[in-house]
Structure 1
């Protein structure tokens, strides 16, 4: 994921002379978290390139959006700030809040795998001071963990995925007035998704996937990215890692078998890819989630 100081919402908070960063961490898989204190401030978020989910942990009763001064926050209220959406905030008094930053690539993966829709068809719906006790509970669990301790950071990552999945199922809607151009047909996208899921344990080439759609590799790669929101190799790696996380969390297979079932050439290759994505080895991930 982009370094934290390059995420627009994080940077806008960090640049404030009034806001104080308590803690922050990359959680892998295009997710990052931060815990803030702020007081007597005004913050502007100008069309960020990432999504931000926030939960008010304490205070916030004097916080409002400039265009909605009569609507103020409170503990456990949630705000959803989609990528590309500008918002302007005033903080009267104090506030403590948690942020979860989500890359557009991770959002795209969720749209395809969880909702079976093209990411460009969908949008995360903006919400201000939303009541969602289940999400608020997850945020409170998330900030109670020690993000500097490797095992607890992995638990934090798991919670962040639960928060994202909940948001995808409850706060995503169709883009209005959208006329899609290019990309793959819906049946081609579903065929590819099913084929990839059914062959994760096998080497898959760009040519093999392109042949399923009767396209050249060049045109297939371009159209795949339009429909899936990320390139074929990145999608394939993400699905392999997702399957690996599931096998590690709910099974007892040796790591070498998990590697082969997920299409990695060797246990060392699997370990390197897993660590690059999640910041920990497969063994450490299994231990953290089993403990």
Structure 2
């Protein structure tokens, strides 16, 4: 596990770079445990990230927030547009991938050793899909159950004690079992009739319209009109494509926008509520608490306190580095002075003493 704030460790460490293996990958028990790590991008950034190859691990990417991304797998563009929370992509060992994120996002990556995958399959006595089929297709798909499990793992991240480790291992095993089951379900679903889905360009229009109007009192008819469909057809196709109703998706995005405002700005909770399309302070507080478990002001205080602790730790590190640098510089100057000084020559030792005094 990687270090978090001073004196802490995290169950899901932050990646040094996109899809980089956590330090635990270099230990002796990597075949006994699914490794988890997280990666995020803040508002206002647009970054291209690439991962040449990760040999020896399947990589499972789980979107913890909606995002706009271009994802490329072995020079083939798999996705270029919006992806929903709970979207999943699986990369086989040794495959090369690249992504360009054009919006804020949080992603969790699970790194699974092939031998662990084979052992889990054997333990299921053939009731799960064979391991080699896990990354047969690089296509992005969505699974609500895996989304909920990943969010639960993220929420438990600070509990890096014995209980937290057992909990994290259990959640990761549950995600793996679900992935091996879901593969079979996706194959059978393709063989059966299904509702029509929104074409990508219509989905992009709808999501762009929502993003541009988070503070406005828009409704289903407005979003459907932006995609050029009737309310009934749009609602059915949007749910079939994303797994969300249009209202649920709009509410989720408003909440995430509110969290950004609460974290990065000093405006009042009422101003945040009105800026995110809520009609009153009471309505916003009720929805926020239901979806996050905390009132807005409590959430803001906790997040900012965590950021303050990070700043203190960073300042302490910077001070220690500066002190070490100053000490090393003084030592070097003393050594230089001693080389040029002679005990019998006061005129040469004088400048050396002056250097040491500085």
Structure with the larger RCO, 1 or 2 (CA within 8 Å, 6+ apart) = 1
TM-score by length of 2: 0.39
The structure carrying a bigger helix percent of its residues is: 2
TM-score by length of 1: 0.47
